[in-house]
Structure 1
């Protein structure tokens, strides 16, 4: 590895030290339904977001709650201490489309209608609150 690449890699590594994330791949829910829940908690403090997700009626909320708990645990393992209230917030939550299962449904007069069973990928970043973020 050249010197320029090594310097860039070290800078990236240093930037990732304070950010912890968790990924959930191939969730069998449409991305549109998952984004509704992701928009509810985007930018929130993590313990407040856990409360919102726990009492949400949406099925996707349970999956995001589990993912958020995983991201918090990743942050705690990386920083070797427990998270305190008001310290962590959701810095990024992103829902991307995943693989799509295509099926056929019988329709009148010998035709077939296409059914698309969608899936998605969710990425959730947890970060500490800095002085710059509070302004």
Structure 2
């Protein structure tokens, strides 16, 4: 059975759509476990404070996540017209992406498998409410 006109269906879908600014990087060459170490350090923090934490974090994931956070801030500023000084990180998570399997030659003709893990990292921002 028909549920209505296409434009009506789109209006209904967009009315419940999440409008928080977000940024996502897919297939990042960092394992989700290692990315989550860095994400845990910045989750719930203000954007300026989080960028400072990432600048002095020596993990490789911090570099990727810093670039992603700057992208999310730009999305909030340009697409949603939000004030950058009032933004904080509401959600930050890394899901597992595909694993690249490689073979490492070992002694006596054996071969060990190396797994190069990838992740899909997402950052969702929001504006602080006035108290």
Smaller-chain TM-score bracket: 0.7 to 0.9
Per-residue CA shift, 1:13-58, capped at 9, x if unaligned? 3x41xx1000111111111111110111011111110111011111
Q: Partner residue of 1:65?
A: 66
TM-score normalised by L of structure 1? 0.84
Aligned pair in 2 of structure 1 residues 96, 81: CA closer, same or farther (>3 Å)?
Answer: closer
1:91 aligns with 2:90: yes
Unaligned runs of 5+ in 2: none
Alignment map for 1:45-124 (pairs within 5 Å): 45-80=46-81, 82-84=83-85, 87-124=86-123
> Residues 82 and 127 of structure 2 are in contact (CA less than 8 Å); yes or no, is this contact kept in structure 1?
no
Tell me, yes or no, if the aligned pair for 2:83 and 2:127 is still in contact at 8 Å.
no
Please list every run of 5 or more consecutive structure 1 residues that lacks an aligned counterpart in the other structure. Answer: none
1: CA distance between counterparts of 2:73 and 2:79? 10
In structure 2, distance between residues paired with 1:97 and 1:43: 22
Aligned length: 127
d(CA) in 2 for partners of 1:128, 1:81? 7
Equivalent position to 2:4, from 2, 5, 8: 2
- After superposition, the CA RMSD in angstroms is 2.0
TM-score (norm 2): 0.86
d(CA) in 1 for partners of 2:33, 2:76: 28
Q: Which residue of 1 aligns with 2:15?
A: 11
Residues 42-84 of structure 1 show CA distances to partners (whole Å, capped at 9, x for unaligned) of 1111111011101111111111111101000000012336522
d(CA) in 2 for partners of 1:54, 1:104: 35
